[in-house]
Amino acid sequence: MAGRQYWCPVELTVDVVGGRWKPVILAHLKEGVHRYGELRRRMPAISEKMLTQQLRELTTDGLVHRQALDGRVPHVEYRLTPDGEALGPALTALTPGANAERRQRGSRSRRRPDASGVPRRECRGAYAGPAAVS
C-alpha cells in the first residue's frame, strides 16, 4: 500500500480487505478474541500458510492485533483493533446478500463436523458491537 495513490476510499478498503479470506477472518474476529487454532477450525478450507499470511497482512494493515501470551502453554490471540471493528457494519451488510444467493442456488450450509462430530460454527451475520449480548 505504501507509495500507492488512492482516488477513492473504496479503493483503499478493497485493497486492504479484499480477497477470499480476509473478510471471513474479520467476520470471525468481530465475534471476539480467537486463537490461531480456533480460526483454523472455523475455516477448514483455508491452508495454514494462507491463514498465517492473511493474518500477518491484516496485522500490518492495523485491522487485527496479535498478542503472544506466555504461560504453561504459550499461545497467540487475535482480536480486532478499533479500525477493524469499524468494518463490522460493512461485513454485516454482505450477509443478507450471501444468504439470498445461497437460497437462490439451493445450496446448503457449508457446516461440516470436525473429527469429534461436532458441527463447526459459522460466522454470524449481525454486528451489534463489542459489548453485544447474543
Q: Which domains does the chain have, with CATH numbers?
A: 9-88 (1.10.10.10)
Answer yes or no: are the C-beta atoms of 91 and 23 closer than 8 Å.
Answer: yes
Q: Which of 19, 17, 25 is nearest to 43 (CA)?
A: 25
Residue with cell 480467537: 34
The helix/strand/coil state of 104 is helix
Give the pLDDT score at 11.
Answer: 84
- Can you tell me the mean pLDDT for 25-45? 93
pLDDT at 108 over 80: no
The confidence band for 127, taking pLDDT boundaries of 50, 70 and 90, is very low
Task: Please name the residues in contact with 76: beta carbons below 8 A apart, sequence gap of 6 or more.
Answer: 35, 36, 66, 67, 68, 69
Torsions phi, psi for 78 (to 5 deg):
-120, 140
pTM comes to: 0.70
Give the pLDDT score at 50.
Answer: 96
Task: Please name the residues in contact with 74: beta carbons below 8 A apart, sequence gap of 6 or more.
Answer: 68
